[in-house]
Structure 1
Amino acid sequence: MTALRNNLSALWWVPRGIIFGLLAFFIFGPLFNMLLWTVTEKWYFPHTFPLEYGFSSWEKVFAPRGGALESLGNSLVVALLTVAVALALAIPAGYALARLKLPLRGVILLAFLIPQAFPNLTVYVNIARIFYEIGLNGTIPGVVLVHVSHGLVYAVWIATAAFSAIDPELEQAARNIGAGPLRTFRDVTLPLAAPGLMASAIFVFLESLDEFTGSFFVGAPDVNMLPLLLYTTASGGNYQIASITALLLLVPSLVFMLVVERFLKADVLSRVGQ
C-alpha cells in the first residue's frame, strides 16, 4: 500500500511538470526568440535556429543614421520630465488625500483612473488635434503632457499610500518640539515616504518609456522614441533591429522592477487605493 502511494505521488508530479514546462515556454520562449534575433545574421524557414550569427545589426542600430541613439535620448528625456511633473503634482495631492479629511476622497482617487477608462486611440486622436491647434503637437512638452496624464494615476495612488503608511504621531512629535509645517514635512514626512515615492517615480518612468499610442499621435514624426522605432522596424520586417530595440526597452524595465520590489514595502502596498 505504501509503495502504491509513493508511485501515485511520483506520478502526480508529471502533470505539474508539464504545466510548469508549458508556462516556462510561453513566458521565456518569446524572450529567447528575441535574444536570438538580436545576434542573427541569416535565419529563414524551415531552419529552427539561425544559420549565421553576428553583431552587424547592433552597428546599424547605433550608427548615426540608425536613429536608435536619438530615439533613446528622446525617450529618456521624456520619461525623466514625465516623472518630474508627475511627482510635482502627486506629492502635494497624495499628502492632502492621506492627511486631510476631504469630502468624496474615494471619488477623487477614482477620477485619476479616468484616462485609463477610455480607449487610448480615440482619446489621443482628439488630443493630437487640440495640441496641433495650440502648437504642442510634435514637441517634447506635448508628449510629456500626454505621458503625465497616464502616469499620474500611479504617482498619486502610490504617493497617497506612502503618506498614509506614516504614523501621524511622528509629525505631531516634530510639531511639539517647535518644527513648523514645512520643516516637519521636509525633515520627517518626506524622508519616511521616500521609498514609496521612489517606487512611484519608477512606475511612472516605465509607463512613459513604453508608451506608444500617445507618443505616436502627439510626437511622430518630429519626436522619435524607442516604441515608435520598434513599431517601424517590426512592421517593415526588420526583426533584428526590432529585437534590439525591444531589448533596449526590456532591460530598464527588469532592473527598475527589481528596485521597486525592494523599495515598495508591504505596509505601502496594503494602503494603495484606500
Structure 2
Amino acid sequence: MAGLRLNLSVLWWLPRGLIFGLMAFFIFGPLFNMALWTVTEKWYFPHALPLEYGFSAWARVFAPRGGALQSLGNSLTVAVLTVIVSLAFAIPAGYALARLKLPLRSLILLAFLIPQAFPNLTVYVNVARLFYEIHLNGTIAGVVLVHVSHGLVYAVWIATAAFSAIDVELEQAARSLGAGAMRTFRDITLPLAAPGLMASAIFVFLESLDEFTGSYFVGAPDVNMLPLLLYTAGSGGNYQVASITALLLLVPSLIFMLIVERFLKADVLSRVGR
C-alpha cells in the first residue's frame, strides 16, 4: 500500500511540476535571454551561449552620442508630468464619482475606457496631424497630453475605488465636530485614500514609461524616449543596445509593482468599477 500511495503521489505531482516548469520557462526564459544579451560581445548561430562576454555595449549606450541618457531623462520627465496631470483630474473626479449619486456614473467611468477601445495606430495618426496644426507635435507637452489620455483610465478608476472604500461615517463624524468640507477632505479622506492614490500614480507612471505608439507619432524625432530607442535598436538588429534599454524599462516596473502590491489592498480592488 505504501508503494501504491508513493506512485499515486508521483503521478499527482509530475504533471503539476511539468506545468509549472513550462510556465517558468516561458516567463523567465526571455528574461534570461535578455540578460545574456546585455553582456554579450559575440554570439551567433548555432552556438547556444555567447562566445564572448563584456560591457562595451553599456559604454556605447551611455556615451554622449548613445542617446540613452537623453531618452531616459525625457521618459522620466514625461512620466512624472503625466502622473501630476492625471492625478489633478483623477482626485476630484474620483471623489465625485465615489460620493455623489450621479445618474450617469457608470457611463462616465466607461467613457474613460474609450482611448483603450480603438486601435492606437489610427487614433495617433490623426492626433499627430491635429497636434502638428496647433504646434504641439514634437514637444514634451504634446507627448504628456497623449500619455494622460491613457493614464486617466487607471487614475480615475483606482481613485474612485479608493474613495469608495472609505467609510462615509468618518467624514460625517468630522463634519459633526465642526470641520469644514475642505478640512475633512484634507485631514480625513485624502490620507485614508493615499495608498490607493499612490498605487494609481504608479500605474500611470509605468503606463507612460512604456508607451510607444503615442510617443512615436507625437514626439519623434524631437522628443527621444526609451521605448523609441528600444524600437530603433531592435529593428536595426542591435540586440545588445535593445536588451540594455529593455532592462532600463524593466527594473522600475518590477520595483513599482512590488510597491503597488503593498499599497493596493483587497478592499480597494473589490470596489473598482462599482
TM-score bracket, normalised by the shorter chain, equals: over 0.9
- Equivalent residue number for residue 171 of structure 1: 171
SS in 1 for 2:272: coil
- Equivalent residue number for residue 246 of structure 2: 246
Query: Which amino acid is 1:246 matched to?
Result: A
Q: How does 1:143-154 map to 2 (within 5 A)?
A: 143-154=143-154
Residue 2 (structure 1) shift: 4.0
- Equivalent residue number for residue 137 of structure 1: 137
Residue 36 (structure 2) pairs with residue 45 (structure 1): no
- Equivalent residue number for residue 82 of structure 1: 82
Task: Tell me the distance in 1 between the aligned counterparts of 2:197 and 2:12.
Answer: 45
- Equivalent residue number for residue 235 of structure 1: 235
Residue 8 (structure 1) shift: 1.8
Post-superposition CA distance 1:4-41 (Å, at most 9, x none)? 23212212222222111111111000000000000000
- Equivalent residue number for residue 188 of structure 1: 188
SS in 2 for 1:83: helix
Query: Which amino acid is 2:234 matched to?
Result: A
Task: Tell me the distance in 2 between the aligned counterparts of 1:83 and 1:227.
Answer: 18
- Equivalent residue number for residue 12 of structure 2: 12
Task: Tell me the distance in 2 between the aligned counterparts of 1:42 and 1:203.
Answer: 37
Query: Which amino acid is 2:26 matched to?
Result: F
Q: How does 1:24-35 map to 2 (within 5 A)?
A: 24-35=24-35
Unaligned runs of 5+ in 1: none
Task: Tell me the distance in 2 between the aligned counterparts of 1:190 and 1:20.
Answer: 42
Query: Which amino acid is 1:203 matched to?
Result: F
- Equivalent residue number for residue 107 of structure 1: 107
Q: How does 1:54-73 map to 2 (within 5 A)?
A: 54-73=54-73
Amino-acid identity (%): 86
Query: Which amino acid is 2:69 matched to?
Result: L
Residue 87 (structure 1) shift: 0.1
SS in 1 for 2:97: helix
Query: Which amino acid is 2:263 matched to?
Result: F
SS in 2 for 1:174: helix
SS in 2 for 1:41: strand
Deviation above 2 Å: which 4+ runs of structure 1? none
SS in 1 for 2:41: strand
Residue 104 (structure 1) shift: 1.2
Task: Tell me the distance in 1 between the aligned counterparts of 2:227 and 2:191.
Answer: 35
Post-superposition CA distance 1:248-267 (Å, at most 9, x none)? 00000000000000000111
Post-superposition CA distance 1:139-181 (Å, at most 9, x none)? 0000000000001010000000000000011111111111111
Task: Tell me the distance in 2 between the aligned counterparts of 1:4 and 1:180.
Answer: 73
Task: Tell me the distance in 2 between the aligned counterparts of 1:186 and 1:135.
Answer: 38
Task: Tell me the distance in 2 between the aligned counterparts of 1:119 and 1:164.
Answer: 32
Unaligned runs of 5+ in 2: none
- Equivalent residue number for residue 225 of structure 1: 225
Post-superposition CA distance 1:169-213 (Å, at most 9, x none)? 111111111111111101110000000000000000000000000
- Equivalent residue number for residue 159 of structure 1: 159
Task: Tell me the distance in 1 between the aligned counterparts of 2:11 and 2:180.
Answer: 68
> What is the RMSD computed on CA atoms of the aligned residues?
0.7
Task: Tell me the distance in 2 between the aligned counterparts of 1:271 and 1:12.
Answer: 38
- Equivalent residue number for residue 116 of structure 1: 116
Paired residues, number: 274
